[in-house]
Amino acid sequence: MLLKEKYAVVGCVVVRLAVSLLFPSLQTQLDKSVELSTPMSSYRLLNEGIFLLRNGFPLYDGGVVHHPPLLVAFMSLIEPQYLVALLYALTDGLISYQLICMARFFSDLGLPTWLPGALYALNPLVLLSCVSQSSVIFTNAFTSTAILCALNGNLLTFAMALGAASYLSLYQLSLLIPSLYLLSRENNQRSRATLAVLGVFAALLQLSSVVTGGSWKFLQATYWSQMNFEKLFPNLGLWWYFFIEMFDMFIPFFKAAFNIFAISFVLPFSIRFQSQPFYALVLCIGWITLTKPYPTLGDAGFFLSFLPFFKPLFGYMRCPLLSALLFIHAIILSPIFYHLWVDLGSGNSNFFYAISLVYALALGFILIDLCWSMLRIEFDGGRPNYKLKVTQI
């Protein structure tokens, strides 16, 4: 590793560990924030599961725990709080290192290899998500591992990483489609990769059944609860307010529609940009971040960490300033509006949902800009021509 690369990775770990240890009460405060924590990723609820598991109580009978059993079992082995903080800091450092490794595959972009890792380390959204000890960080770590292994052509490690990411968050399983284009163009290898990922996912489910004493209740408490949106908690997503206001008779239909919508663009992105599979995969990550039922700023921070790889496309973007301002506007005002609504009672749910729509609009603008830029560089034959104006036909 180059010196700057080492600084980026070590700095990522040290900053997160220092913030966690110097401000121990900050984790509790951030864990209560709906922007960084959901019922599916909260460390507070994960601790509840650890308590139940250690004391021999059924893990999912109370309807409180929604984390996968193997994650609860693994975290139950790490008891002192400083070791937990170290684990989260090292996991974030691993993601930073993997982004640096990915940059080495794109040396023709003129992108310094240390830059993606450094930007990830300095990203406040990722930093706060790590300090809050949200389980989203583990999903992101396995996802980045799968991407790096796909670039390396390492089929076995790719299958294990993507299978683990899908186990932690079911919507990550849809990333298998663009990953196959990134892994290889050989149909035989794609078939083996698909079977391997599904095999790893099935093996983890079987191990989960062993952890829960032969019970399969965890399927309902984890995956079905997420897909069925059983916990109507406010978050930055598009789901919660819609289903609070929806008539009961229409809810099952629209839950199915929202789930289909969450994965509907994965296949079109993968097919249309199959000549640029890495970028198609990043677009799919952004789409899932936008449409999943329980998103957090940690998901958005992970997606935005891949933007430096789009460096040649920046000149094509039509509204980067608008997207940035909308995003900053949303992340600053969302805690304020939530505080006005829940704590002070001087606002209402429309305040917070309005700002979550602004957040969704910002992510949507970023995705649209990236798609347009990729189409433009294809039109220009792979050589950027920013001065050429393309008019409507």
Taking only the tens place, the pLDDT of each residue in 293-323 is 999 999 999 999 999 999 888 888 888 899 9
Cβ contacts of residue 56 below 8 Å, gap of 6+? none
Q: What is the pLDDT of residues 154-193, one digit of tens each?
A: 899 999 999 999 999 999 999 999 999 888 666 677 888 8
Q: What is the pLDDT of residues 88-143, one digit of tens each?
A: 999 999 999 999 999 999 888 888 889 999 999 999 999 999 999 999 999 999 99
CA angle (138 as vertex; 133, 143 as ends), nearest 5: 145
Q: What is the pLDDT of residues 176-186, one digit of tens each?
A: 999 998 886 66
Give CA–CA dist 379/377, Å, rounded. Answer: 5
Residue 50 predicted with pLDDT over 80: yes
Element holding 348 (H helix, E strand): none
Residue 287 phi, psi (nearest 5): -65, -45
Contact of 87 with 61, CB cutoff 8 Å: no
The CA–CA distances, whole Å, from 59 to 184, 217, 218, 326 equal: 41, 9, 8, 41
Q: What is the arithmetic mean of pLDDT over 21-31?
A: 91
Cβ contacts of residue 77 below 8 Å, gap of 6+? none
Instruction: Give the position of tokens 């950027």.
Output: 384
Cβ contacts of residue 210 below 8 Å, gap of 6+? none
DSSP, collapsed to helix, strand or coil, labels residue 102 as helix
Q: What is the arithmetic mean of pLDDT over 10-33?
A: 92
- 269 versus 389: which is more confidently predicted? 269
Sign of the Cα pseudo-torsion (77, 79, 85, 90, in order): negative
Give CA–CA dist 64/245, Å, rounded. Answer: 24
Give CA–CA dist 25/315, Å, rounded. Answer: 43
Length of the chain measured in residues: 393
pTM equals 0.94
Residue 393 predicted with pLDDT over 80: no
